[in-house]
């Protein structure tokens, strides 16, 4: 979908400030993390702006990174790293 140059898009779904984001999957996926005690990571299909399955982390995300092919997402929350694969939590370190 072509958008006019300089236009804005809004991805609605968080209930607190977004504190980190990562783009992956060759620009097809966007992961956003919100702050707070009920912190969530939301993964979006970037082009249409549709939300995929959210994942609760339980505390504010400090940083996030996504693999270039979009299959894994690493989320840093304090001293803990959570790795999400295929939008399902698969490893907690």
- The pLDDT confidence band at residue 21, using thresholds 50, 70 and 90, is confident
Question: What percent of the chain is modeled with pLDDT above 90?
Answer: 0
**Phi first, then psi: what are they for 7, rounded to 5°?**
-80, 160
Rounded to whole angstroms, how far apart are CA atoms 92 and 75? 10
- Closest listed residue to residue 74, CA positions, set 66, 20, 35, 31: 66
CB atoms within 10 A of CB 23: 16
Work out whether the CA dihedral 49, 54, 55, 59 comes out positive or negative. positive
- The pLDDT confidence band at residue 91, using thresholds 50, 70 and 90, is very low
Please report the pLDDT score of residue 1 as a whole number: 58
């Amino acid at each position: 979908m072509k958008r006019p140059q300089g236009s804005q898009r809004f991805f609605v779904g968080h209930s607190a400030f977004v504190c980190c984001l990562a783009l992956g999957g060759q620009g097809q996926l966007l992961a956003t993390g919100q702050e707070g005690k009920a912190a969530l990571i939301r993964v979006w299909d970037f082009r249409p702006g549709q939300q995929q399955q959210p994942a609760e982390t339980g505390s504010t995300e400090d940083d996030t990174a996504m693999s270039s092919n979009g299959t894994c997402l690493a989320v840093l929350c304090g001293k803990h790293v959570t790795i999400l694969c295929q939008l399902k939590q698969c490893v907690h370190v």
